[in-house]
Chain A
């Protein structure tokens, strides 16, 4: 059973940071680990903040110096 929590899916990074400042808030990225953690009740959670709509976190690209950046 999943516990009761509120859910937010902000569109901007700044808003995501603000939403995460709430009590007992956690990040929902891919959710492959989080959902199991919530079901098993291994941490108290009141709010889940999805970061899947944050476009600035997407993509893999080469940098000018020949390195690379991997979006989270």
Chain B
């Protein structure tokens, strides 16, 4: 996907996100369906803890070691972050997910694929046990579409996002006329930032708008004991990525 000429030309942000996944060996072996459906990276979930998501009675991260956990959408139930880099870009691009199961085919949005802990803490996706994602469909990109994916991680390669942002914005006469902003490393699902979108929609990306958007990125955040540093990361990457779009870089 990161090397596909079709994807690179039409959706450069998506090609970039695919190139940010894991390492080349893992990318060659992995699949896009698998990237969307991967299991959470939470060390309590992966370790020998009988956590809520595995049928236990509590989330160990909420009051435990939570430096890599969610600042949005956990609702003090389960604080995993969704580990996919491609999902936020697919959501920003308004992709549709095609699924086949026992009762035939269905198509859903990316946001409907993922399940918040408050909806059902035992599953990550809305797939039934015998359903398979067959393909992902992307709408034609608008001529003025700018798409980008930015990922911050603890080391240069082969790591999951501490904070990331996918942007798909249509720019006309320097103004943002349409588009989406979706955060990664932020919540148990790819986290659409309506707050940032509301600030920039219809506006020119000048210094004032960018400063407001950067502040809006963390509105409503509920950081845990060890992860308030993510607030600064999200503010910073929103500012830098909007600057880059403004400067057409």
A residues neighboring B (CB under 8 Å): 13, 16-18, 20-21, 25, 27, 29-34, 36-37, 40, 42-43, 51, 54, 56-57, 60-63, 65-72
B134→A33 contact, CB < 8 A: no
A29 CB → nearest B CB, Å: 4
- If over half of A's interface residues share one DSSP class (helix, strand or loop), that class is named, otherwise mixed; here it is mixed
Q: How far is the CA of A25 from the CA of B132 in the complex (A)?
A: 12
B136→A72 contact, CB < 8 A: yes
Which residues from B are CB-within-8-Å of A32?
A: 22, 26, 29-30, 34
Which residues from A are CB-within-8-Å of B135?
A: 57, 69-72
Q: A63 contacts which of B32, B47, B132, B137 (Cβ < 8 Å)?
A: B137
B132→A16 contact, CB < 8 A: yes
A68→B39 contact, CB < 8 A: no
Residues 20-66 of B at the A interface (beta carbon under 8 Å): 22, 26, 29-34, 37-39, 45-47, 54
Q: A57 contacts which of B33, B38, B140 (Cβ < 8 Å)?
A: B33
Q: State which size class the interface on B falls in.
A: 35 or more
Contacts A13-B132, A17-B130, A20-B132 given; indicate if A68 touches B10 (C-beta within 8 A): yes
Which residues from B are CB-within-8-Å of A40?
A: 46-47
Contacts A69-B136, A70-B138 given; indicate if A60 touches B101 (C-beta within 8 A): no
A20→B100 contact, CB < 8 A: no
- Is B243 close to A, CB under 8 A? no
A18, A56, A61, A69, most chain B CB atoms within 10 A: A69
25 pairs across A/B with beta carbons < 8 Å?
A17-B101, A17-B102, A17-B131, A27-B132, A29-B37, A30-B31, A31-B34, A32-B29, A33-B39, A36-B46, A43-B39, A43-B54, A56-B134, A66-B10, A67-B10, A67-B137, A67-B139, A68-B6, A69-B138, A70-B7, A70-B135, A71-B134, A71-B135, A72-B31, A72-B32
Contacts A32-B30, A60-B1, A66-B140 given; indicate if A42 touches B46 (C-beta within 8 A): yes
A37 CB → nearest B CB, Å: 6
Q: How far is the CA of A33 from the CA of B159 in the complex (A)?
A: 13
Contacts A13-B100, A29-B33 given; indicate if A70 touches B129 (C-beta within 8 A): no
B6, B45, B54, most chain A CB atoms within 10 A: B6
Which residues from B are CB-within-8-Å of A51?
A: 33, 132
Smallest CB gap from A29: residue in B: B34
Which residues from B are CB-within-8-Å of A31?
A: 29, 34
B140→A17 contact, CB < 8 A: no
B4 CB → nearest A CB, Å: 5
Q: How far is the CA of A70 from the CA of B26 in the complex (A)?
A: 18
B120 CB → nearest A CB, Å: 15
Smallest CB gap from A71: residue in B: B135
Top 3 A-B pairs, shortest CB-CB distance: A72-B33, A66-B140, A29-B34
Q: How far is the CA of A34 from the CA of B46 in the complex (A)?
A: 12
